[in-house]
Amino acid sequence: MYSDGDAQIAERLQEAERASLRARDLTYQLLTFSRGGEPVKKAVVLGPLIKEAADFALRGSRSRCEFDLPEDLWTAEVDEGQISQVMNNLVINADQAMPGGGLVTVSGSNRTVGDTEIPNLSAGDYVRITVADRGIGIPHQHLKKIFDPYFTTKQKGSGLGLATSYSILHRHGGHITVTSDVGKGTAFTFYLPAADRATASKPQQPNALVRGQGRILVMDDEAMVRDVAGKMLAGLGYEVEIAKDGEEALSVYEAAMTEGMPFAAVIMDLTIPGGMGGKEAVERLKSRDPAAKVIVSSGYSNDPVITEYRAYGFDAVVAKPYTVKNLSEAVARVLSREKT
């Protein structure tokens, strides 16, 4: 149990975390809209991902979510971060439509779509997700513009959220629609192509952390990032060493091999201003140790090295700023020799 003082500190830290992550999301939305962000896909069980993203979006809100996500929901080939961003945008939009708080309903179903059945959607199997509110509704004359960039009827907001969601879903081969009644509420429905269900990732509990052991080398030019990543990994059970650039990382890695204490995995920042970044470092590292397991890290999801990381010699990718969940999963994947 927290004392009153501890509870207040924890609440302030959660508020700061929400603010920083929403600032990150806005940055990603600007990048996605302005330059395009190709999704880094894998087969995912959508239920836990959808629920976690929706719950996070409503932290600190007077609204609440009610879920109807069947256990037999088909898997989909998606970029988890981008689909979480779509859910975050839609749930925040629903919350803002109910200034006094209210109920946001999130439902899912499997849907086989025929030719010409839904405009802009090819025939095939899809997972359908609907986010509905009981808010103020959208006037009919605004519905045709609702996915236009920078169009908004709100006093707060950039107008990028729905445009970015539309762009992300389009790049996934999906689609999004909207229906609304003024004074009654709005429902956004999006479709994602179903994946081969035999290739799905095993479902995990929301917020479950994957712990492990072994030595991890973290390379980043920012001391704060090195410190945060080191503490996260240590908390997950790993032994951590750090390096500030590619040259130092190569030196530390080689010394560890010589001493018979090799690293289980390496996390490399893609870009090091004024120094050797991950792109060059991984090439040199794998020429010396082809079995090295290397994760590329970056805050720039649009860089071709991130979207095509395997072609550049990396084994996985993790986005910055780190969350302990994403970091734990990325390390666990490479250590189990499972490619993302």
pLDDT digits (tens, 9 = 90+) for 50-69: 998 898 888 878 999 999 99
Q: Find out whether 331 and 216 touch, Cβ atoms under 8 Å.
A: yes
Q: What pLDDT was estimated at residue 208?
A: 63
Number of CB atoms found within 10 A of residue 27's CB: 13
Residue 329 has pLDDT above 60, yes or no: yes
Number of domains composing the chain: 2
Question: Does residue 204 lie within any of the structural domains?
Answer: no
pLDDT band at 148 (very low <50, low <70, confident <90, very high): confident
Q: Domain of 51: which CATH number?
A: 3.30.565.10
Residues 152 and 220 placed together within one structural domain of the fold: no
In DSSP terms, 267 is beta-bridged to 218, 295
Helices 46-57 and 80-96 cross at an angle (nearest 10°) of 40
Residues 193 and 221 placed together within one structural domain of the fold: no
Kindly report the pTM of this predicted structure.
0.60
Least confident of 85-94, 155-164, 178-187, 206-215: 155-164
Q: What is the rounded average pLDDT of the residues 109-130?
A: 92
Say whether the peptide bond before residue 273 is cis (omega within 30 degrees of 0): no
Residues 228 and 168 placed together within one structural domain of the fold: no
Show which of 170, 199, 228 is a domain's final residue. Answer: 199
Distance of alpha carbon 97 from alpha carbon 133, whole angstroms? 7
DSSP code, position 129: E
Kind and range of the H or E element at 170? helix 160-171
Residues 265 and 179 placed together within one structural domain of the fold: no
Residue 38 has pLDDT above 60, yes or no: yes
Residue 91 has pLDDT above 90, yes or no: yes
pLDDT band at 320 (very low <50, low <70, confident <90, very high): confident
Distance of alpha carbon 266 from alpha carbon 199, whole angstroms? 27
Q: What is the rounded average pLDDT of the residues 180-184?
A: 94
Residue 41 has pLDDT above 70, yes or no: yes
pLDDT band at 293 (very low <50, low <70, confident <90, very high): very high
- Phi and psi of 283, rounded to 5°? -65, -45
Residues 88 and 179 placed together within one structural domain of the fold: yes
Question: Does residue 223 lie within any of the structural domains?
Answer: yes
Question: Does residue 102 lie within any of the structural domains?
Answer: yes
Q: Find out whether 100 and 178 touch, Cβ atoms under 8 Å.
A: no
Residues 195 and 228 placed together within one structural domain of the fold: no
Q: Find out whether 281 and 312 touch, Cβ atoms under 8 Å.
A: no
Kind and range of the H or E element at 103? strand 103-113
Q: What pLDDT was estimated at residue 158?
A: 46
Residues 100 and 41 placed together within one structural domain of the fold: yes
Structural domain of 265 = 215-335
Kind and range of the H or E element at 218? strand 215-219
Q: What is the rounded average pLDDT of the residues 267-285?
A: 95
Question: Does residue 230 lie within any of the structural domains?
Answer: yes
**Better-predicted residue by pLDDT, 10 or 251:** 251
Q: What angle do CA 324, 263, 199 make, to 5 degrees?
A: 55
Residue 338 has pLDDT above 60, yes or no: no
Residue 19 has pLDDT above 60, yes or no: no
Residues 192 and 239 placed together within one structural domain of the fold: no
Q: What is the rounded average pLDDT of the residues 113-142?
A: 92
Considering the chain, what is the average pLDDT of its residues? 84
Residues 162 and 266 placed together within one structural domain of the fold: no
Question: Does residue 207 lie within any of the structural domains?
Answer: no
Helices 278-288 and 246-258 cross at an angle (nearest 10°) of 20
- The residue type of 326 is N
Question: Does residue 205 lie within any of the structural domains?
Answer: no
Residues 115 and 178 placed together within one structural domain of the fold: yes
Residue in the block written with tokens 């959220």: 161
Residue 187 has pLDDT above 80, yes or no: yes
Question: Does residue 312 lie within any of the structural domains?
Answer: yes
Q: Tokens for 61, please give them.
A: 């809100």
Residue 36 has pLDDT above 50, yes or no: yes
Distance of alpha carbon 218 from alpha carbon 151, whole angstroms? 42
Show which of 133, 165, 199 is a domain's final residue. Answer: 199
Least confident of 20-29, 63-72, 73-82: 20-29
- The residue type of 129 is I
Q: Domain of 295: which CATH number?
A: 3.40.50.2300
Question: Does residue 188 lie within any of the structural domains?
Answer: yes
Q: What pLDDT was estimated at residue 27?
A: 53
Residues 108 and 136 placed together within one structural domain of the fold: yes
Greatest mean pLDDT among 58-62, 115-119, 142-146, 181-185 lies in 181-185
Residues 101 and 232 placed together within one structural domain of the fold: no
Q: Tokens for 327, please give them.
A: 């970091």
